[in-house]
Amino acid sequence: MKTIGVVTSGGDAPGMNAAIRAVTRIAHSRKLQVLGFERGWDGLLTNTYKRLTPRTVGGIIQLGGTMLRTLRCPEFEKAEGVELAAETLELNEVNGLVVIGGDGSFRGALDLSRESDTLMVGIPATIDNDIFGTEETIGFDTAVNTAVVAIDKIRDTAISHERVFIVEVMGRKRGFLALEVGISVGAEVILIPEREC
């Protein structure tokens, strides 16, 4: 039986579980075994995984986070870590690896692809929306809507107290989230990293 692996890496994003579920269900419909490596790249370094089936991914679509858990893995950034991950893929006879994450996850997949013959597929999932070549990443829309709801709730307080509120959103080095939220709530000023103040 052919085997694919799934890994969620870096920060979590709403919709990662839905992606895991979709990958698992489609893979099983094509008679593929699915291994979900736990805690991001760390799962590949420690050979820690769970077998995913349509039953094990049932009921996760509405949950936030990722059922596989995730973290940043400094050991994977070293050549020895990438080599160990490649060995894990070979040991488990993984034919393809689905990487669900952001720019750091994709850089890791690129590094791993240079050490392994395993096919790599990336599913962009980051609230930062900063993956080149994508219109919108998994998690971005939910992040925008969550921020808009929160800002709408505090706007009344700002108005009643005749105050200016400064709201900071996530997004790392990119202003996609700040810009989208700012436009959506009618902000007076939107500051983004791409523009000098």
Catalytic residues: 128
The one-letter amino acid at 73: C
Non-local (6+) Cβ contacts of 60 within 8 A are 17, 18, 20, 21, 67
Q: Which of 127, 175, 125 is nearest to 16 (CA)?
A: 125
Q: CA 85, 13, 52, 107: dihedral to nearest 10 degrees?
A: -20
Q: Is there a contact between 26 and 58 (Cβ–Cβ < 8 Å)?
A: no
Query: How far apart, in whole angstroms, are the C-alpha atoms of residue 47 and residue 84?
Result: 9
Q: Is there a contact between 67 and 90 (Cβ–Cβ < 8 Å)?
A: no
Tokens in use for 58? 């049932």
**Tokens 């075994």, residue located:** 33
Q: Is there a contact between 118 and 95 (Cβ–Cβ < 8 Å)?
A: yes
Q: Is there a contact between 68 and 41 (Cβ–Cβ < 8 Å)?
A: no
